[in-house]
Amino acid sequence: MIQVYLRKSDVEKAKKDGRFITMTSNERIVRHFWQLFDAAEFEEAGNLLQPNAIIRWWNTREEFKGADKFIEANRIYPGRWRITVERLESINNLIITVVKVVGQDISFYTTSFFTLEEERIIRIDEYWAENSEPPDWRVEAALSVQF
At 92, the pLDDT band (50, 70, 90 cuts) reads confident
All domains in the chain, ordered by first residue: 2-140 (3.10.450.50)
Give CA–CA dist 142/107, Å, rounded.
Answer: 25
Q: Which of 59-63, 93-97, 128-132 has the lowest mean pLDDT?
A: 128-132
Is pLDDT at 116 greater than 90 in this prediction? yes
Alpha carbon distances (Å) from 19 to 10, 14, 15: 11, 5, 6
Residue 115: which H helix or E strand, with range?
A: strand 107-117
At 3, the pLDDT band (50, 70, 90 cuts) reads very low
